[in-house]
Structure 1
């Protein structure tokens, strides 16, 4: 056969994937030729970018604003409260997810804590880091006119709408429990989300009923940027083989090359972020309304209790009255909504 004019290119081996040896890891690898090897600590660096800005040049001014002492006090109280409650709850559902096997961590890229917990040290610190980043972002969004300006006056939600929302959230909670207890593994991740977050959303739905429409821009702007940033970091973590999500526990809905954007997992990050930011949006919107009504007392420990009763009264007046009788507030200013 004639071979004139033909040139034979040297054969090259196809790129290979990194193997983790005897670690027992069977998650996705990454292309070894030119690939980066990032550990979980490196991913904290990505998460740290917005946090550093929020702690320095972009620090929320309300944290040291003497013009509105009640809102400043409420902001610090929100940070302390959300770090305690959100991180505690996150540790529980994160541990449950790891116990089921919905997510697993590459032992070669994390710092294990032995038999005490299935979560590595970096994951536990991530819970704190993610919560404080989302909370600070919420405070920042409440300062920008474009995102914080109310779209109308806060008003009670229609009883029928609230009841319908509560019924849906109750059904989601029951469905989540059934999914976790059932034999269909593909529903486990969604079941975990519904079980742990539908009750949280019920609290947000009821306590924030006055502000979901009037302050919708604050709710959305506080939630989406930190939520989507965390989803992006998750995709990097999967691509780098830091963690893995076995397909047997997911619905299979995914996008991006190699299915890195798994919608079940994206939902985990988005709903957990919303639980943090929506809580802050309610507190900030309520403290603003409370102050504008001209009845807020001076900012001390008791004024926070007045603010809490004000928020509770907007959602459940009878419950607020019973709580106030058991633990009397500093004044009766929280009853200002009684005229509605």
Structure 2
């Protein structure tokens, strides 16, 4: 292969983006007001990032290797260094690096010092979890056709994670929906552009048999969907991680109060 390799893709797109996020973190934090707090300050945030990264590697590896073995995508000749199972070493590196890249971006954003009270939290959780269940059914159905196989694999694989996150904290994620959207869409857009270039240069190739053929600016919709849901996993996971820590901290400060998660008003909770 005479074109760029998968390792060069990392060096050209992921490493510079991560370095930029680190370099600009201090500026963004200095501009935050006293009413907000940067998400990425403190050891606990990066502990959460490490936990999410391990979960991402464990959850994604079997799925990723299965799709490669099925022929959903493959890699250009000479574009990878060594293969472990069915995936190249650089693929595992990507799985490890993406959560940190998204977390670095999210660390630039701010979280208000107080969680808002929300009404009907149980109902919100039930509805959101049911929506994740619908996504799973849709994904499972799409697996039945070759042309929608990859899209179905992404949707069915993503649904259990979304169901868990929404069952735990759908009300708080909705209350922080602007933060979720901004935290998710910026790295998703960047990685979609990088992915489109990688496909153009043949670093990896998607099967026409297992994809719909639908594209956005030349990028298969399946790839865009993948980056959307995986970045959503990371962003929602880190916000919920902060919420749980705040809940525990509040509980420690006043053990005489019943344990009610921060931001939930038990008087308004109903199903």
TM range (shorter): 0.7 to 0.9
Secondary structure at the residue paired with 1:109? coil
Query: Counterpart in 2 of 1:312?
Result: none
Query: Counterpart in 2 of 1:318?
Result: none
1:1-340 matched pairs, under 5 angstroms: 37-45=3-11, 46-58=13-25, 72-113=42-83, 116-142=84-110, 148-149=111-112, 153-180=116-143, 182=144, 184-256=145-217, 260-288=218-246, 295-296=251-252, 335-337=259-261, 340=266
State whether residues 119 and 265 of structure 2, in contact with CA within 8 Å, keep that contact through their aligned partners in structure 1.
no
Residue 161 (structure 1) shift: 4.3
Deviations 1:210-249, CA, capped at 9 Å, x for gaps: 3123211221121111111111110010111100111111
Cα distance in 1 for residues equivalent to 2:220 and 2:258: 45
**Residues 159, 57 of structure 1: alpha-carbon distance in 2 compared, 3 angstrom cutoff:** closer
Write out the 4+ residue segments of structure 1 that deviate beyond 6 Å after TM superposition.
Answer: none
Deviations 1:250-279, CA, capped at 9 Å, x for gaps: 1121133xxx31111110111111111111
Cα distance in 1 for residues equivalent to 2:265 and 2:82: 57
State whether residues 218 and 281 of structure 1, in contact with CA within 8 Å, keep that contact through their aligned partners in structure 2.
no
**Residues 157, 239 of structure 1: alpha-carbon distance in 2 compared, 3 angstrom cutoff:** farther
Secondary structure at the residue paired with 2:174? coil
Cα distance in 2 for residues equivalent to 1:81 and 1:118: 25
Structure 1 residues without counterparts, runs of 5 or longer: 1-19, 21-35, 62-66, 143-147, 298-329
**Residues 222, 334 of structure 1: alpha-carbon distance in 2 compared, 3 angstrom cutoff:** farther
Q: TM-score, normalised by structure 2?
A: 0.81
Cα distance in 1 for residues equivalent to 2:127 and 2:185: 25
State whether residues 251 and 259 of structure 2, in contact with CA within 8 Å, keep that contact through their aligned partners in structure 1.
no
State whether residues 296 and 333 of structure 1, in contact with CA within 8 Å, keep that contact through their aligned partners in structure 2.
no
Cα distance in 1 for residues equivalent to 2:165 and 2:256: 24
Secondary structure at the residue paired with 1:249? coil
Cα distance in 2 for residues equivalent to 1:137 and 1:290: 26
**Residues 111, 164 of structure 1: alpha-carbon distance in 2 compared, 3 angstrom cutoff:** same
Query: Counterpart in 2 of 1:310?
Result: none
Residue 283 (structure 1) shift: 2.0
Equivalences, count:
254
**Residues 163, 41 of structure 1: alpha-carbon distance in 2 compared, 3 angstrom cutoff:** same
Deviations 1:158-209, CA, capped at 9 Å, x for gaps: 54443333223213223323443x3x20111111112211011111212222
Structure 2 residues without counterparts, runs of 5 or longer: 30-36, 267-271
**Residues 275, 332 of structure 1: alpha-carbon distance in 2 compared, 3 angstrom cutoff:** farther
Q: TM-score, normalised by structure 1?
A: 0.66
Higher relative contact order (CA 8 A, sep 6+): 2
Secondary structure at the residue paired with 2:42? helix
What RMSD, in angstroms, separates the aligned Cα atoms of the two structures?
A: 3.1
In terms of fraction of residues, the more strand-rich structure is 2
